[in-house]
Amino acid sequence: MTSAEKLQALQADVDVFVGATEHTSLASLPHWGSLAVLLVILHCETQHGLVVTGPQVRGCTTVGDLLKLLP
């Protein structure tokens, strides 16, 4: 999957990313918070079979950092 495809899939599951780019800061997203972190964890598990932890997601600064967690 390309980064663009990964972002598109993420946006389909977690609507806080709608309109975001790889360079968007997570902190700048209006609805970034504990629920969004949960939804990202769910997306990783259901779409990629990948277990990521809350601290891993929290450790990301930009949307691009999040996409790097994905295979």
Partner 1 sequence: MHSSITNVRLAGLAVSTGSQTRDFIADGLALGLDRVMLERTAQTIGLRERKVAAPGITALDLCEDATRRLLDAAGLDASSIDAVIFVTQTPDHSQPNNASLLHGRLGLATGAAAFDLSLGCSGWVYGLQQAALLCAHGGAARVLLCAGDTLSRLTHPKDRSADPLFGDAGSAALIERTGHAAAWHFELGADGAGANAIIVPQGGARMPHDCKPLTEIPDLDGNVRHAANLAMQGGEVFNFSLRQAPPAVAAVMRHAHYTVEATEGLVLHQANRFVITTVGRKCGFPAEKTPSDVVEHYGNQSSASIPCALIHAFTEPLSSRALKLVLCGYGVGWSWGAVAAEFGPLVVAPIQPYPHSR
Closest CB 67 distance from partner 1, rounded Å: 18
Is the Cβ of residue 58 or residue 68 nearer to partner 1 in the bound state? 58
Determine the Cα–Cα distance for residues 49 and 62; give it in Å rounded to an integer: 22
| Minimum separation from the CB atom of position 4 to partner 1 (A) | 25
Judge whether 22 and 64 are in contact, CB under 8 Å: yes
CA 34 from chain center: how many Å?
12
- What residues make contact with partner 1 under the rule CB under 8 A? 15, 31, 33-35, 37-39, 41-42, 45-46, 51, 53-54, 57-58
